Every structure is written in structure tokens, then in C-alpha cells.
Amino acid sequence: MRLFLGAFAGYFAVGLTLSLRFGYLLGDALSRTSAAQAVLLSRDPHVSAIGFIFTPLTALLQLPLVALSSWWSAITRWNISGIAVSALFMAGATVMVLGICRDRGLVGWHSALITAVFALNPMIVFYGANGMSEAVFLFFTCWAVRRLLRWVHTDDVHDLIVAGIALALAYLTRYDAVVAIAGAAFLVAGVTLLRRGRGEWRAMRRQAILDAVLVAGPGFVAFLVWSATSWLITGELLAQLSSSYGNSAILEQSGGSTGTPLANAAFALVAGLAMGPLLPLLLPVGAVLAKARGDLEFLVAPVVFGAILAFQALTYISGSTFGFLRFYICAIPLAVVMVVQLAPARGNPRTRRRGAFVTVRPDRPSTARPVVVLSVVLSMLAVPITGWAMLTPSLSSQQYALRYLLDTHPDARDVDAVSARKVIASFSTERELAAYLDRMDLPEGSILVDTVYGFGVLAASAHPKRFVVPSDQDFTTILNDPAAAGVEYLLTVPNSGRGESDALNRRYPTVYDNGGTIATLEFEVPNVGADQPDWRIYRVLS
């Protein structure tokens, strides 16, 4: 409990500092906060307002805090609800790492040192503090890995069931978990077959399939329920792929992948090594030691985390996703688990019910052999490599601005510094616009805006009911005749890039340029943030 509370306090403090002191907010985190706000505080509150582009869990977890933003709007304006969720779950991931160490039988100081190396990794600290989905995803994947490691040792079906639940929750956090679920199913089936040796083939196959279903079943059900719900409400099974707001559409609107497959492969390799610099050493050494010991636990982390890393690399190489360093964050817990497994397993953690193929370990604690001490030291030295990668613009388009937090007036000749200030200033214009609109005495439903870019304005507003947004069930009707519905203002963005998917631009293609014959220009708001549009506010003609 002390570890959890200490880690949470640390991550939360860093997050509040980045947000309240420097105004450094990330778009994906703020958009989830805006989605949670729409569920409770929009003019048409309902659960499906959570949206179906992202899986819903990260936004749903924010609901209790977002509910309080009607009294204190800073909770959404500064993404405090998102920061609290990421801090909680990254603290939970840290506790899972400590649990993996203890399950392996490592002595106290050894467990504490490895856990500290994980908890203080700059990438872990940043994503435990910014409200993104990585913290929640890492918690559930680390939980699943821990339970699978225990299952290999205990053969306890309870561990298998809990691992399946953790993977299902990971899927409801990020789509990447699909490959982890598939990998875990094949792993469990393979381990079952290996442990049952040369028994009767039909019985072996039946047991292997049953074990695989236990671990993959919850995730499969989560996939079916989420996809079916999306189809019933939006008409799209996989909105992330098919929707005009989804990842595929964003890639197309952004001009697609600009690198060649070879260049993208090089980036994926470097990004993976930046997150886990010791993996080229740890994986082969760990494999040799595991073979000599007959230790099947070695297979768990490379299969589960490795499947996620391979998926991210392959989709980027094929031009189907973006080249973000954060997509390779699973290399960090993978390297940590590999370090843990260099030590021989000792002790027998308590379990609810041991299976027939339980492995009985020696009771004495695992001692720190020279190779183990060396691995921990090298793990500590690897942390600066990850920090360096985070601050390198060519590798880390989303994190390198941290390097310039204190450089508030960069030299105009320093291109990276000027660009970094724009990244840090992202959504500052939207906050100012929201504050301006809040000061106006406007009735409910008087401002029409799409959330493609408008989520930053919505999250910052103290009066979200004043906005008509796509999640409102009457949005299309109002979009077709804003004046009749009492709309007074349109918030518009350029009809280019991601703005092509903006509902106002699709309904009135020239609205940003000339008001689309339904509105007159009130004023224009140049944007100081990176990759954010200049806003034009139009007054609707009555």
C-alpha cells in the first residue's frame, strides 16, 4: 500500500505540475476527458456519448471526477481527471512489477531495486502523469503477465481466469490488446501440451483448448460486445477503422505514412531499443538460462508484450499507424520481467488451488548472483537512454518538448525549441476561446461545433451544455438548420487535413471561408498550438 500511495502521489504531482504550471496537455488524453464530459454534462447526456473510436475504459474511469467538474470546471479544463486516472493505474502497474518480483522469490532489496528502476523510468513517469491510456493499458497487461507467470508455476485455474479478465480489460483500454489475447491463448495451449507430455492426444488437445478459451474468452466477449454495441448505435462494427473520425481516416487526411517501409522498420527497431535497450542481451541470455532450468515462465512476457510490440512495428511499417515512441512502451515492462527471470525461481507463493502440474520450488529466497547484480546495474544505466530518446525530436514528436519546458523565450533560430513551445502551447488557444464564450450570456444549445478539433474547447468550458456536438441525438437535425434550432454561433476550422472530417465542413464545404450562406464572420482566432487550426467564429443568420 505504501508503494502504491507513494507512486500515485509522485505521478499525480508531476501531472499537476505539467498541466497547471506549464499548460502541457496531450490531445488524446484531453479528447477522452471531453468524451467523459459529454456522458454526464452535455446538453444530451447519455452513455453512448463516450464514442466508439477509442475503446471506452479510459474515459469511463474518469466519470466520477468529471461529475464534479460542474462545480469545479478546472477538473476538465486542465485534465485533472485524466491525470488522476493515469497516476492511479501507473501506480498499480508498479505494484504489479513488485508482485512479479516477489512471486519469483527475489529478496527484498532486489525486488525494491527492480521496481524502482521501472517506476522511475522517465517514460513511465510521463505516461503516469499525463492522462493518456498507456498507464491503464500497462496496468492490465502487467496484471495479466503476472497471473500467467503464476499459472505456469501453480497450474491454478484461478490465475488463468484472472489473466483472461485482465486482458479483456486491456482490450477495453486499447485495441492493441487483441494480439496480446491471441498470443496468450497460443501460449497457454502450448504450455498445457508441453506439460502433459505424451498422454492421450485427444485428452491433451481438449485440455489445451479449454485452457486457451479460459484466458481468451473474456477478451473475445469484450470484443463482441463492444463491436456489436458500436454497430447497433453507429452502424459501424469497427469505428476505429471505418469511421471518418477513426485512425485510418486521420492517416489519410494527414497525407498517409511518409516513410518507406525500410525507414519505418528502422524507426520501429530504434524505438523498441530505446524503450528496452537491454533486450538484445536479456532475451538470448534468459532463453539459455530458462532452457537449462526447464523454466517455462520465460515464455510469458516475450509472448504477451512481444505480440504488442510486433503488432505496433508491423502496422507502422505497413503505413497503417503513426510513428509514436509511446507505442513501444511495453518494451519497458518486458525488459524488467526479463531481468527478474535471470534469477532462479525460489519459494512457493500462496495460491487458491494448486493444479496437477504445479512446480515445487526450493523454499530459500533467490540470492543475487553476479549476473543478476550486473543486470540490475545495466537496467539502471538504460534509463538515461530512454530519457535521451524521449527528448530527441526525430524519435519522440510527442515528448521532446519536455526538454524546453523552462525555455519560455527560445531563440528564433532554434527550430526545435520554437516547435517545442508550440507543442507545449497546444490547447492554450482553445482554453482562451472557451473562456471567452463562457463570459458571454448564451443559452443552452447556442454553439454548434464538431469534436474533431473542438474537444479542447469543450473540455475547457464551464458551460458544456451551451454546445451542440455530434454525440447529441439531434445533432444532424440542428446541423441541417442551425437557425431554426436556436444556434447563434458556429465554431469552424479549415476544410483541409483533419478538418475534412469536421461535420460542419462536410455539410457546408465553404463555411470556414465565407459562412456557407448561413452565417457571417464574427471574429477569427489564430492558434498558437502545434497542429491546431485557426478558428473562425460565425454568427448564424436568423
Confirm if 423 and 530 have CB atoms less than 8 A apart. yes
Smallest Cα–Cα separation from 496: which of 452, 430, 431? 452
Of 105-114, 396-405, 408-417, which range is least confident? 408-417
pLDDT band at 365 (very low <50, low <70, confident <90, very high): low
As a whole-number percent, the residues of the chain with pLDDT over 70 amount to: 92
pLDDT of amino acid 71: 93
Q: Please, what is the Cα angle at 103 between 98 and 107, to 5 degrees?
A: 70
Residue 441: CB atoms within 10 A of its CB come to: 5
Largest CA distance in the chain: 82
Mean pLDDT throughout 399-403?
91
Measured in degrees and rounded to the nearest 5, phi and psi for residue 413 equal -80, -15
Mean pLDDT throughout 167-186?
96
Q: Is the dihedral of CA 351, 355, 357, 360 positive or negative?
A: positive
pLDDT band at 361 (very low <50, low <70, confident <90, very high): low
Mean pLDDT throughout 73-96?
97
pLDDT of amino acid 147: 97
pLDDT of amino acid 204: 76
pLDDT of amino acid 33: 96
pLDDT of amino acid 36: 95
pLDDT of amino acid 524: 95
pLDDT band at 59 (very low <50, low <70, confident <90, very high): very high
pLDDT of amino acid 171: 97
pLDDT of amino acid 348: 73
Query: Quick check: 276 pLDDT over 80?
Result: yes
Burial of residue 396 (CB within 10 Å: 0-12, 13-18, 19+) is: buried
Residue, of 225 and 200, whose pLDDT is higher: 225
HSE-CB for 272 with a 13 A CA cutoff: 20
Strands 489-492 and 519-525: unpaired
pLDDT of amino acid 255: 58
Strands 519-525 and 447-448: unpaired
Q: CA 20 to CA 23: how far, in whole Å?
A: 6
Query: Quick check: 180 pLDDT over 70?
Result: yes
Of 98-102, 316-320, 532-536, which range is least confident? 316-320
pLDDT of amino acid 152: 92
Q: What is the pLDDT of residues 237-268, one digit of tens each?
A: 777 766 666 666 676 666 556 678 898 999 99
Of 76-80, 83-87, 356-360, 456-460, which range is least confident? 356-360
**Cβ partners under 8 Å of residue 436, min gap 6:** none
Residue, of 538 and 374, whose pLDDT is higher: 538
Of 65-79, 287-301, 396-410, which range is least confident? 396-410
Query: Quick check: 376 pLDDT over 80?
Result: no
Q: What is the pLDDT of residues 330-354, one digit of tens each?
A: 999 999 999 999 888 887 777 777 7
Distances (CA, A) of 486 to 63, 200, 478: 29, 74, 9
pLDDT of amino acid 141: 98
Residue, of 432 and 251, whose pLDDT is higher: 432
The partner residues of 490 in beta bridges, in order of sequence, read: 448, 538
Mean pLDDT throughout 18-33?
94
Distances (CA, A) of 101 to 51, 108, 170, 205, 376: 38, 9, 22, 32, 13
